[in-house]
Structure 1
Amino acid sequence: MVATLYGIGLGPGDPELVTLKAKRLLGSAPVTAFFAKRGRPGQARMIAEGHLNPATRELRFDYPFTADMDVRDPRYHEEMEAFYDRCAMELAACLDQGWDVAVLCEGDPFFYGSFMYVFDRLHGRYASEVVPGVTGMSGCWTRAGAPIAHGDDVLLVLPGTLPQEAMVARLRNADAAVFMKVGRHLGTIRRALAETGLIDRAILVEGGTMAHERVQPLAAVHDESVDYFSIVLVPGRQRVR
C-alpha cells in the first residue's frame, strides 16, 4: 500500500475557518499527528476537535522547550534538529505500514509552520500533499477591521525574534508590516516601531479569531510579553486610491 503524508492547514483558530478539504481528510485519516508545548493541549489539536476520524491513532509531538529560547543559541538548533528527526522517524514508521498520516497545522503549513520540517525530511521518500489554510495574519487583520495593503504597497512579514536593528532596517522600506512570533519579543517590536515612526499605526491582535480574541492599538499596550499567538499589524494604504 502507498501511504500519503498530509499537511493539513487548519486556519488561525476559528473552527469554521477549516476548509472542506481539510475536514474531509481529517475525517478519514487513520493516523493524526500534532505538535504542542509540553503540558498544553496544542492549538492545532484544539481547532481540529470534532473533525477527526473517531478511530484515528494520535501522535503527539512535544517541543523540547517549555519556554522560548533565543534562536541564536546553538543549543536551540541542535535540539530542534534532533526533535524533528525523531518526529520524522515516527511518521515514517506509520507510512511504512501503509497508513496515511494527517499532520495538523495551525494557520498554513508552509508559513512558519512546524510541518515543513518533517516535510523536508520525508517528502522525497513518501507521497505527500499539503492542504493550505487561512494564515494567522489574514485572520487577524480581518478581525481588526484593518485592510493591510493596496495598490503597489509593499507588505513586510517579520519574525519577532529578529534583533531590533534588523527590524528597523527592514521597516524603513515597507509600506505595511506584520510581526509574527510576538510573545516575549513585544518590547523589541515596540521599540523598532517607535524608532521608525510607525508605532501609532500599529495594532496588537491577541488570539485572533479565537474565543479570547483582543484587538487594541499597540501604543496603548504596556506589557512586555503577550501570548505566542499574537500578531502586530502595521496597515499600509496610506496613499490616495
Structure 2
Amino acid sequence: MTKARAVGRFYGVGVGPGDPELITLKTLRLIKNAPVVSYLVNDQGQSQARNIAVEAFRDVRPGQLEVPIPMTMSTDRRFANQAYDQGAQAIRELLDQGQDVVFLCEGDPLFFGSFAYLLERLEGDYPISVVPGISSVNAASSALAQPLTMLKESFVVINGRAKDEKIRQALTDHDTVVIMKAGQARPRILSLLAETGRSGDAHYLEYIGRDNERILNSISELPNEVGPYFSLFVVIRKERDRG
C-alpha cells in the first residue's frame, strides 16, 4: 500500500487594515510559529502586509523562511497574473516539501484579498485554512463611529473600478454604499456622487489605521483628482430608516 504524500498546509491570514494591534491572536500565533511566511512586495521590495504584522515578527520561530512575491502596480492584469503564477509555484514547492506556509493578506484574505488569487491556483491540491481579518470597511465604520446598516436599511460594497452604471445604481438603490479601491476612480466617483445627490452623505478615508490616516467627513474639501490606492468612500444616508 502506497503511503500518502505528506504535504504542508497553506494558510491565508488577515492582518487587518493597518493598525498592528488589530491582528487576531490566531494570526499572531500562526505568524510566530510558521516555518514559512509569504507576502506581496512592491517594486521597492516593501510589503504593506508585513509592515502591519511587524509585532508578530519580533519573536518568530528560529529559521523561519520568508518568501516575498513581487507585485507590480501596473494596471495590466497580465502582469498580476504572472506574479501570482510565480508566487503560487514557489509556495507549491515548499508545500510539496511538507512545509506549512502562512500568507499575509491586508484586511481580510477573502474580501478583495490577494490571497484569493493564490487560493484559486492551489486549492484542491493542498489542505488550506483561512483566518479572517478586520477589513477596511469595518475599520472605516469604526473610525467614523457610524453604523454601516441598521434595521431595514440596505448596504452594499462595490469596487471603484466598476462601471459607472453599477456605481450609479448602488448609490441610487442602497442606503449605505462603500466604494472600495477608490484612488484611480476618485474623479469619476465624485461626479457620480453629485449626479445621484449623495455627495452630502459621503465620507472619504485613506490609509485607515495607519500613521498617515486621513478622514474627511465632507467631500467638498476633496480635490477632484486621482488619489491613493488605499482609499474608500463610505456613503451613509443622513436620514436613517429606523422603522
TM-score scaled by length of structure 2: 0.91
How many Å separate the matches in 2 of 1:77 and 1:12? 24
The question of whether the paired residues in 2 share the 8 Å contact of 1:144 and 1:205 is answered with no
Q: 1:132-211 counterparts in 2 under 5 A? A: 132-211=132-211
Tell me the alpha carbon deviations over residues 13-32 of structure 1, each in whole angstroms, 9 at most, x when there is no partner.
11111000000100100111
How many Å separate the matches in 1 of 2:37 and 2:209? 24
Q: 1:200-239 counterparts in 2 under 5 A? A: 200-216=200-216, 217-236=218-237, 238-239=240-241
Instruction: Give the SS at the match of 1:157.
Output: strand
How many Å separate the matches in 2 of 1:232 and 1:140? 9
The question of whether the paired residues in 2 share the 8 Å contact of 1:165 and 1:192 is answered with no
How many Å separate the matches in 1 of 2:50 and 2:150? 34
Tell me the alpha carbon deviations over residues 206-233 of structure 1, each in whole angstroms, 9 at most, x when there is no partner.
1111111111122221141222111110
**Residues paired across the two proteins, number:** 233
User: How much does 1:166 deviate?
Assistant: 2.7
Tell me the alpha carbon deviations over residues 79-120 of structure 1, each in whole angstroms, 9 at most, x when there is no partner.
332222111111000101111100000100000011111111
How many Å separate the matches in 2 of 1:194 and 1:208? 24
How many Å separate the matches in 1 of 2:194 and 2:37? 44
Does residue 16 (structure 1) correspond to residue 17 (structure 2)? The answer is no
Instruction: Give the SS at the match of 2:228.
Output: coil
Q: Which structure 1 segments of 5+ residues have no match?
A: 70-75
User: How much does 1:40 deviate?
Assistant: 5.2
How many Å separate the matches in 2 of 1:22 and 1:13? 14
How many Å separate the matches in 1 of 2:170 and 2:139? 24
How many Å separate the matches in 2 of 1:118 and 1:45? 17
How many Å separate the matches in 2 of 1:161 and 1:40? 26
How many Å separate the matches in 2 of 1:40 and 1:230? 22
Q: Which structure 2 segments of 5+ residues have no match?
A: 1-5
TM-score scaled by length of structure 1: 0.91
Tell me the alpha carbon deviations over residues 174-230 of structure 1, each in whole angstroms, 9 at most, x when there is no partner.
110001111121111111111111011100011111111111122221141222111
User: How much does 1:56 deviate?
Assistant: 1.6
168-177 vs 79-88, which moves further: 79-88
Counterpart of 1:30? 35
Aligned residue identity for 1:62 = P
4+ long deviations beyond 4 Å: none
Does residue 87 (structure 1) correspond to residue 65 (structure 2)? The answer is no
Over the matched positions of the two proteins, sequence identity in percent amounts to 33
197-206 vs 166-175, which moves further: 166-175
The question of whether the paired residues in 2 share the 8 Å contact of 1:6 and 1:131 is answered with yes
The question of whether the paired residues in 2 share the 8 Å contact of 1:204 and 1:218 is answered with yes
The question of whether the paired residues in 2 share the 8 Å contact of 1:202 and 1:219 is answered with no
RMSD: 1.5
Larger radius of gyration: 2
How many Å separate the matches in 2 of 1:90 and 1:23? 23
Counterpart of 2:73? 66
Aligned residue identity for 1:94 = L
How many Å separate the matches in 1 of 2:110 and 2:73? 23
Aligned mate of 1:240, from 222, 239, 242: 242
Counterpart of 1:51? 56
How many Å separate the matches in 1 of 2:203 and 2:10? 37
Counterpart of 1:128? 128
Counterpart of 1:73? none
